[in-house]
Amino acid sequence: MTVDSTRGVPRRRVLAGGAAAAGTAALAGCGLQAKAEGGPMQFWNFYAPQRSDDPALAAQSKWFTDLVAKWNASHKTKIELLYLPPPIYQTGSKLPTAFAAGSGPDIFLASPGDFLRYYNGGILMDLTPHMDKAAVKDYYKDALASRMVDGKVYALPMEVEPLAMYYDVSAWEKAKLSEGDIPTTWDQLLDVGAKLKSPTRAGIVTETKPGYLQNFLWYPWMWQGGGDVLDEKGRPSVDTKAVRQALQLWQDAVRLGITPRVPPAANDLIAAFRGGNAAMWQSGIWQVSSFRAFAPKFEYGLFKLPTPPGGTYKTALGGWSFCANAKGRHPEAAAEFCAWALGTMEEECLDRMVDWCVKAKSDIAPRKSVLERATRAGGYDQWAMKYFKDEVFPGGRAEPRYPPVIYKAMSDALQGAMLAGRSVDSETSRAAQSVEAYVKSYKGAKLV
């Protein structure tokens, strides 16, 4: 799942959305009434409109409100933005429940983890007829492939979000570590994590709460050893050494006291670093804009995810997409909007994607021409952005589009091994059985 600044929502983001959160039920209720009365198309999202003293959130909200205002000024079928706080939108049941009741939004944001749920449910509108053919080819293959079925595009990525390891330079130096100690192997990672941890500081932080985010953060460790949940033909491949050793790594990190069971500082990386509560933290490129907004002078470092013996470097590439509801009031207009916003070769479209990826946020652009344009504009001149683009991103693999049953099987294995301390072998075997049983009866679009 892409987190964005919303994947693993920091405490300040929840608080910043508090005022809007209080009105969420009212907004949703008004939206359903507007749908019945033939009002404007509704665009459910977790960015806008909202007021915030958080400069990053304010910039992201403005990008969305400007986008919709531009559309409304030149199109007959209007759009209304309806904001839901990230925890409700991303991990709640409001969106799936709305679609099940036939009252879902006309336009919405979705991560790869929800793609098959919505596609197999007949929710996603084919966007291909509204796109420039050149724009389809302009998208990076991995960015678009998980949103396609039989050569047709059903969701348009707005961003690509690779993962890396952040570290607190001050904590590093106090532990008498240098750049030469940056780990490149799993054993080195645990060794450095042990040196950095203290009674008040976690050596390594990663997500411990079950959810698509935790799976997303864990997948690269599995991939680095050559493991996978499903092979390239969609066949189950869970019960392997690579899967077991990746589960073992996360279990060992907790067992050795290097990784805490609950992330410090309410899961806010910057607050934890500034408070001396964490030394290393696995997260994504979205944190760069948070540092820029909240701690521009804080000295942090980055390194690529270390690899196991004989392994190959991999990272996961997340990101959210625009989708149109095929069962909405105006499915053609909704699809046209998604393509107009992100799927043409028009200068205005390319510029707005540049603005999102390197001004409103900090992301890798999902299209070649946009990445080139953003690079020329200096969007990747800052050291961290350059590192993500040049070093981290090239080893990336798109977040899988596994449906809920497969996600849950792996999530249960991860929770069982990491936090419950159960046997890695038994957890891997149990997950393999669940995945195999599901795949045998699965009917729908290709799983990979």
Q: Is there a contact between 313 and 305 (Cβ–Cβ < 8 Å)?
A: yes
265: left (phi over 0), alpha (psi -120 to 50) or beta: left
Categorize the per-residue pLDDT at 52 as very low, low, confident or very high, splitting at 50, 70 and 90.
confident
Categorize the per-residue pLDDT at 407 as very low, low, confident or very high, splitting at 50, 70 and 90.
very high
- DSSP assignment string, 281-322: EEEETHHHHHHHHH-TT--EEEEPPPB-TT----EEEE--EE
CA–CA gap between residue 41 and residue 106 (Å, rounded): 6
User: Strand, coil or helix: what is 161?
Assistant: strand
Q: Is the pLDDT of residue 34 over 70?
A: no
**Average pLDDT, rounded, for the chain:** 92
Model pTM? 0.91
Q: Is the pLDDT of residue 113 over 80?
A: yes
CA–CA gap between residue 316 and residue 87 (Å, rounded): 22
Q: Is the pLDDT of residue 221 over 60?
A: yes
Rounded to an integer, the average pLDDT of 272-283 is 98
| Helices and strands counted in the chain (H then E) | 21, 13
Q: What is the pLDDT of residues 115-171, one digit of tens each?
A: 999 999 999 999 999 999 999 999 999 999 999 999 999 999 999 999 999 999 999
385: nearest Cα among 350, 352, 358, 356: 358
Q: pLDDT exceeding 90 applies to what percent of the chain?
A: 88
Q: Hey, how many other C-beta atoms are within 10 angstroms of the C-beta on 405?
A: 14
Return the CATH number of 11-160+318-398, one of 3.40.190.10, 2.60.40.10, 3.40.50.80, 3.30.70.1350.
Answer: 3.40.190.10
CA–CA gap between residue 213 and residue 436 (Å, rounded): 23
Residue 92 is predicted with a pLDDT of 80
**What are the boundaries of each domain within the chain?**
11-160+318-398, 163-317+401-441
| CB half-sphere exposure, 122, CA atoms < 13 A | 4
42: which residues sit within 8 A by CB, 6+ positions away? 31, 34, 35, 79, 80, 82, 105, 106, 107
Residue 55 is predicted with a pLDDT of 87
Residue 51 is predicted with a pLDDT of 86
CA–CA gap between residue 176 and residue 170 (Å, rounded): 10
CA–CA gap between residue 278 and residue 271 (Å, rounded): 9
Residue 19 is predicted with a pLDDT of 31
Q: Is the pLDDT of residue 440 over 50?
A: yes
Categorize the per-residue pLDDT at 3 as very low, low, confident or very high, splitting at 50, 70 and 90.
very low
Q: What is the pLDDT of residues 388-397, one digit of tens each?
A: 999 999 999 9
Contacts 24+ apart (CB under 8 A), 289-296: 289/5, 289/56, 289/360, 289/361, 289/362, 290/5, 290/10, 290/56, 291/384, 292/56, 292/362, 292/382, 293/54, 293/55, 293/56, 294/12, 294/56, 294/270, 295/270
Q: pLDDT exceeding 70 applies to what percent of the chain?
A: 92
Residue 7 is predicted with a pLDDT of 37
Rounded to an integer, the average pLDDT of 237-254 is 98
Read off the DSSP letter of residue 443: -
Rounded to an integer, the average pLDDT of 345-352 is 98
Q: What is the pLDDT of residues 286-306, one digit of tens each?
A: 999 999 999 999 999 999 999
Domains 11-160+318-398 and 163-317+401-441 share a fold: yes
Least trusted range by pLDDT, from 85-89, 157-161, 279-283: 85-89
CA–CA gap between residue 218 and residue 249 (Å, rounded): 10
CATH no. for 163-317+401-441: 3.40.190.10
Q: Is there a contact between 73 and 362 (Cβ–Cβ < 8 Å)?
A: no
Q: Is the pLDDT of residue 10 over 60?
A: no
Instruction: Copy the structure tokens of residue 375.
Output: 């690079």
Q: Is the pLDDT of residue 6 over 60?
A: no
Rounded to an integer, the average pLDDT of 309-324 is 97
Residue linked to tokens 């952005």:
385
Residue linked to tokens 């793609």:
115
CA–CA gap between residue 371 and residue 364 (Å, rounded): 7
Q: Is there a contact between 196 and 171 (Cβ–Cβ < 8 Å)?
A: yes
Residue linked to tokens 């609950």:
262
